[in-house]
Chains A and B, each alone.
Chain A
Amino acid sequence: MSMIEFHAISKTYGSGEAEVRALDQVDFAVEQGDFIAVMGPSGSGKSTTMNIIGCLDTPSSGQYLLMGQEVGGLDRDQRALLRRNFLGFIFQGFNLLSRTTALENVELPLVYQGVAPDERRARALEALDKVGLGSRAEHQPSMLSGGQQQRVAIARAIVTRPQLILADEPTGNLDSARSREIMELLRQLNRDEGMTVLMVTHEPDMAAYATRVATFVDGRLQSDVRQDAV
């Protein structure tokens, strides 16, 4: 069983003349332990793919299995529970809560899981240590650099020990040195922690870190190749 299976997934927006077909009959699979880069020009359907995999959006037709579970028939709350327990998100714009310390940001997913405060704090500090920011736990996002903010976001994504990390252009707002640090971190999580990583990017330099590159064009999967990471 693959971790993620797309069977003839389509996604359309609007209707009639204005209908836009973002995904068109896509078959796709992600295996446990993959580090996969999803590439393609804007409008190619890569973000829609990401949103569907992330249970933020639902396909118009087709079947989506997440760890063997059919997601299409689930309601909003059931999808929220899938996100809470199995997925971790990293965004281009970091999306940390402002005026909230790094530690509190990282604790947030555990709050929703109902983890007790002491354990929550311990696990959040552990996650921050893992991304090299253990000493900045009490800093608020405005006091951190972009690279540091993205590390906090990664800590937040991994604190629940999810099966799959979804990263949407994680280096889009960072300079190349900072970008490489983030990519090293993701690769380390993939190799050492056994986390599956799916990353949307349009930068070939970043895709080079992945073990597999899937390229979308016009709502279709154009190519899907395994590669040796740099």
Chain B
Amino acid sequence: MLFETFRLALLTVARNKLRSFLTVLGIVIGVASVIAMVTVGQGSTAAVQSDVASLGSNLLMLRPGQPGRGPGGGQNDATPLSAADAEALLAEIPDLVAVTPVATRTQNVVYGDVTQTVTVSGTDNAYFPVRGWTLSQGRMFTEQELRAGTPVCVLGTTTAKALIGEGNPVGIQIRVGKITCEVVGMLTRREASTFGQDDNDTVIMPLTAFQRRISGNRNVSSISVTFADGLAAEAVTPKIQALMRERRGLTDDKADDFNVFDMKQISSMLTGITGTLTGLLSAVAGISLLVGGIGIMNIMLVSVTERTREIGIRMAIGATEGQVLMQFLVEAVVLSLIGGFLGVVLGLGLGWAGSVALDVGFAPDWRVTVAAFVFSALVGVVFGYFPARRAARLDPIEALRHQ
């Protein structure tokens, strides 16, 4: 009997294809946005977390600029950092294992007739262990190259592939900005990216070479620091802050004009942003489902009115109130389930597209998918109940007289 009712409901829905589609559109949009948001949100959270994991939890990052404005906030007005700061940190704070100054700039890199726009970093050999990189080809920089500012570089795999395709880039001469640079090594590929930026698309050269030939100044964008295992970031950070205040000549009445970022802090901040966005858009999706439900209620009320005579006939033939109620309730549920199904398909599609566009992993959450589907069925039950009850309560004589 229930199967029969479902078959009947499907037939009725199929008879009014356009109307049914428009009716379920709200549900489709609601379910699709929940699923797309959660998919992209989880993908980017996972990406942030894997980035942080690949960098290691013992990492701190020092940047110029006032605290509280996020990474890069107020950076331009503050005194820049220098390589000397990095040396001082390593020398004065015994907790620190490695310190590496990094200067970065976006440059065009040219090989043959291929041009690639890449983040170029000037740094030293400590950069590789501190940022968790290993080499798959060639070597790091020699002391001689670091001191003399020889134009040599190490490529990320994405950059190497863009320039020469598959193969070993060691030994080729590439142009970075205005200088010619010999490739001496290539990084091991790592699957990490942050909001669309591929970590493997990078060129690394000695800091001296970078400062002399690319930036033309002695500034350093950031200093990355790793501290000994077993210490907490909260314990190390004040020591760095104290030393930096001293070096920058900040009197007690002045605020810090630099920032020490803990990777956990960055990760939780990024995850927090993603979480807030997901929450907000889920609320919008919830409203959309509500509106979708009202749409279904409206169309079911119209349907009950249009089919008053049919209801009368069914009652005369022997349908009980419960059977009439069930017929219209099942119809509303079938409508909302169709909407839920289309929403899941559309949501997964959009989530996939969004994940690809942001270059984060496609991470559909099956629990959320199932929950959204079940919720859409629930919307059908809740909003279908009132019209169905109206149908079931009709007086058969009146209903039969209805034209």
- Residues of A at the B interface (CB closer than 8 Å) are 51, 54, 56-57, 76-77, 80-81, 83-85, 89, 91, 95-97, 99, 108-109, 111-114, 156, 160
Select one of B15, B309, B321, B396 contacting A77, CB under 8 A: B321
Residue of B nearest to A96 (CB): B313
Q: A95-B313, A97-B313, A99-B15 are in contact. Are A112 and B397 (CB under 8 A)?
A: no
A89 to chain B, nearest CB (A): 5
Question: Is B317 within 8 A of A112, CB to CB?
Answer: yes
A-B pairs, 6 with minimum CB distance:
A84-B318, A77-B320, A80-B320, A83-B318, A109-B317, A112-B318
23 contacts between A and B (CB under 8 A): A51-B397, A54-B316, A56-B396, A56-B397, A76-B321, A77-B322, A80-B319, A80-B320, A81-B320, A84-B319, A85-B318, A89-B316, A89-B317, A95-B313, A97-B313, A99-B15, A109-B317, A109-B318, A111-B4, A112-B318, A112-B320, A112-B323, A156-B317
Contacts of B397 in A (CB 8 A): 51, 56-57
Question: Is A113 within 8 A of B400, CB to CB?
Answer: no
Q: Which residues of B from 281 to 325 have beta carbons under 8 Å from A?
A: 309-310, 312-323
Question: Is A111 within 8 A of B1, CB to CB?
Answer: yes
Residue of A nearest to B309 (CB): A95
Interface string of B258-272 (1 = CB under 8 A from A): 000000000000000
Contacts of A56 in B (CB 8 A): 315-316, 396-397, 400
Give A162 to B313 CA distance when docked, in angstroms: 17
Residue of B nearest to A89 (CB): B316
Give A81 to B316 CA distance when docked, in angstroms: 10
Interface string of B387-403 (1 = CB under 8 A from A): 00000000011001000
Size bin of chain B's contact surface:
20 to 34
- Residues of B at the A interface (CB closer than 8 Å) are 1, 4, 15, 309-310, 312-323, 396-397, 400
A92 to chain B, nearest CB (A): 10
Question: Is B318 within 8 A of A113, CB to CB?
Answer: yes
Residue of B nearest to A78 (CB): B320
A87 to chain B, nearest CB (A): 8
With most chain A CB atoms within 10 A of its CB, the pick from B309, B310, B318 is B318
B306 to chain A, nearest CB (A): 11
Contacts of A81 in B (CB 8 A): 318, 320
Give A186 to B310 CA distance when docked, in angstroms: 24
- Apart from A77-B322, A83-B316: 4 A-B pairs, beta carbons within 8 A: A57-B397, A80-B319, A80-B320, A95-B309
Residue of B nearest to A113 (CB): B318
B5 to chain A, nearest CB (A): 9
Give A83 to B323 CA distance when docked, in angstroms: 14
Give A201 to B310 CA distance when docked, in angstroms: 24
Give A80 to B322 CA distance when docked, in angstroms: 11
B401 to chain A, nearest CB (A): 10
Contacts of A80 in B (CB 8 A): 315, 318-321
Give A124 to B313 CA distance when docked, in angstroms: 17
Q: A57-B397, A114-B1 are in contact. Are A108 and B316 (CB under 8 A)?
A: no
Give A77 to B321 CA distance when docked, in angstroms: 6
Select one of A85, A95, A112, A160 contacting B319, CB under 8 A: A112
B110 to chain A, nearest CB (A): 70
A50 to chain B, nearest CB (A): 10
Select one of A51, A54, A108 contacting B314, CB under 8 A: A108
A141 to chain B, nearest CB (A): 12
Give A65 to B161 CA distance when docked, in angstroms: 93
Contacts of B317 in A (CB 8 A): 83-84, 89, 108-109, 112, 156
Contacts of A109 in B (CB 8 A): 317-318
Select one of A54, A85, A91, A97 contacting B310, CB under 8 A: A97
Contacts of A85 in B (CB 8 A): 318
B10 to chain A, nearest CB (A): 14
Contacts of A89 in B (CB 8 A): 316-317
B242 to chain A, nearest CB (A): 83
Contacts of B323 in A (CB 8 A): 112
B289 to chain A, nearest CB (A): 31
Give A109 to B397 CA distance when docked, in angstroms: 18
Contacts of B396 in A (CB 8 A): 56
Give A84 to B316 CA distance when docked, in angstroms: 8
B17 to chain A, nearest CB (A): 14
With most chain B CB atoms within 10 A of its CB, the pick from A51, A85, A95 is A95
Give A99 to B16 CA distance when docked, in angstroms: 12
B100 to chain A, nearest CB (A): 76
Question: Is A91 within 8 A of B321, CB to CB?
Answer: no
Give A56 to B395 CA distance when docked, in angstroms: 8
